[in-house]
Structure 1
Amino acid sequence: MSEQSGQEPGERTANHIAHNARVWDYWLGGKDHYEVDEQVGDQVTSMYPSIGEVARADRAFLGRAVTHLTGQAGIRQYLDIGTGLPTAENTHEVAQRIAPDSRVVYVDNDPIVLTHARVLLTSTDEGATSYVDADARDPAAILRAASGTLDLGRPVAVMMLGILNFILDTAEATSIVRHLLDAVPSGSHLVLTHPTLELGGEGNEAAMRFWNENATPPITARGRAEIEGFLDGLDILEPGLVSCACWRTDGADEGPLVAQFGVVARKP
């Protein structure tokens, strides 16, 4: 994610450089992207054909995780960081369908995401949905802004799907997770997905290198041991740290194994 520039959202839109939120939208079959995003997306797909399956599995994981947390764990507050472009079955739609009083704060700093979020991320009357234009590298700013919608004295699900892979330094990424979780009470949860070169993802290495040379923001993969470091001190829910395509599926929902770890963990 890029640093804040002080420019208005429209001024920060660069339609000549592929951007993750728009390429992801392209892989999910959306319409909110530019030709350059299609070009880079197609090239990545040619190098790593299962990337579309990764995108779809990540989105399905979000739905299952939020369904569990809202329906079984009683979570009513979500802090969704790196939300990307709105699409079907966003966090607030899943949560508020089960518990209409659920409150959701979305965080991103891509201007095209901001424009769409303001229009599309609406709430039930009983709940609340808001959007924070902030950088994932500034958890203090995120928490300050989120506190206008969320009660940080009550459990919060911190959603970090496919976002820590854009924080290239693992120590910095770990510090961000710690800062966020230190600010929320016992009973809060961390929901995380992250690309890996494990789980059959070795072929993704060249595609990531191409991405970093031709698109923004740069990305990194991490292995199981590194991702487990984000979970220190948390109680990891079954089935543990697994391919996100395999997390709590009923069999019918389970798609092909993808090289994207998924995990849900509870703060004791």
Structure 2
Amino acid sequence: MSNEKIKPKLNGTAETMLQCFYARAMHSRNPKNKFRDTKAEELIDHIDYDFSNAKKDTAMSGGIVARSVVFDELVSDFIRKNPDCTVVNIACGLDTRFYRMDNGKITWHNLDLPETIEVRDSIYQESGRVSTIACSVLDPAWADQVKVRGKMLFIIEGLTMYMKADEVRTMLAIIRDHFDNAYVCMETLCPYFVKKENIEKSIQATGAIFTWGANSFADLGDIAAGFRKVKDDDIARGMETLNPIYKLVMWMTIVHKFAEKILVFEKA
């Protein structure tokens, strides 16, 4: 990659990927913290963007890192059990998880809208076992670009809170109808926080709006038709990485009630 900085032209939901990228990079740069994202550290200085809102938004950055920790654990466990699997990282943004998870065998597709993939490709220039797909997740055409099949893991992180229920249903139906052995890890917002994006000021500044949430796989109902529950998880466990004080309150039901959920399910 050249020393020339990339100036992303994004807004709304697509722009939120920059806040997430910044949060992981800055957390990782602090030697006192356990979570490491060396790829984000390496690349953050190549992006020409005003990160001042993200810098001040501790609510956003804390949540991003906490969910990254839990997703990393879930994805790592799946890859350990299925070392030759194919992963589709939906709404990837500038996510760097492949570089933390790669075992030298997996096939990894980073899927996002064309304007987002244009930015990603200018920074990462990925090919081979890790590549990009420029397509809406609501367009079934993306499924045809996934050539290596077998054990399939679908990561859906930082997306569903900006979707409508029917859009989530469409997305899951495409996965169900086009892939066997489909295993899904999907983040959902606690419904209480829908319409409360003002809590995370950097997200509000992009114009992105929270529109949907669910507390459990059971809450999905027919949205997840054709899938069965593996487990309901949440990001509260990841909060311990940020601050050991959370170990003292993890037993409290209210912590898990309002934490963002990570629903794990598979094709029935």
Q: TM-score normalised to the size of structure 2?
A: 0.70
Task: Tell me what 1:115 maps to.
Answer: 122
Q: Aligned in 2, Cα 1:69/1:209: closer, same or farther, shift over 3 Å?
A: same
2:141 maps to amino acid: A
Corresponding residue for residue 215 of structure 2: 224
CA distance in 1, matches of 2:232, 2:12: 37
Shift of 1:170: 0.8
Equivalent residues in 2 for 1:217-256, closer than 5 Å: 217-224=208-215, 228-229=220-221, 230-237=223-230, 240-246=231-237, 256=246
Q: Trace 1:1-268 onto structure 2 (pairs within 5 A).
A: 13-14=9-10, 19-28=15-24, 29=26, 30=40, 31=44, 33-39=47-53, 41-42=54-55, 45=57, 49-73=58-82, 76-87=85-96, 90-91=97-98, 93-94=100-101, 96-97=102-103, 100-109=104-113, 110=116, 111-118=118-125, 121=126, 128-138=129-139, 140-147=140-147, 150-151=148-149, 154-167=150-163, 169-185=164-180, 187-198=181-192, 204-207=196-199, 211-212=203-204, 214-224=205-215, 228-229=220-221, 230-237=223-230, 240-246=231-237, 256=246, 259-268=259-268
Question: Which protein is richer in helix relative to its size?
Answer: 2
Please report the TM-score for the alignment, with normalisation by the length of structure 1: 0.70
Matched residue type, 1:188: A
Question: Cα RMSD between the aligned structures?
Answer: 3.6
- Taking the aligned partners of 1:160 and 1:18, their CA distance within structure 2 comes to 14
Q: Check conservation: 2:17, 2:93, Cα contact below 8 A.
A: yes
In the aligned structure 2, how far is the partner of 1:117 from the partner of 1:170? 32
* Secondary structure at 1:189 match in 2: strand
Which stretches of structure 1, 4 residues or longer, exceed 6 Å deviation after superposition? 15-18, 251-255
Number of residues of Structure 1 aligned to a counterpart in Structure 2: 229
Q: Which runs of 5+ in 1 are unaligned?
A: 1-9
CA distance in 2 between counterparts of 1:159 and 1:224 reads: 18
Q: Distance in 1 between matches of 2:243 and 2:154?
A: 24
- What SS does structure 2 have at the residue aligned with 1:106? strand
Cα distance in 1 between the residues matched to 2:76 and 2:202: 35
Identity of aligned residues (%): 10
Query: Distance in 1 between the 2:241 and 2:261 partners?
Result: 20
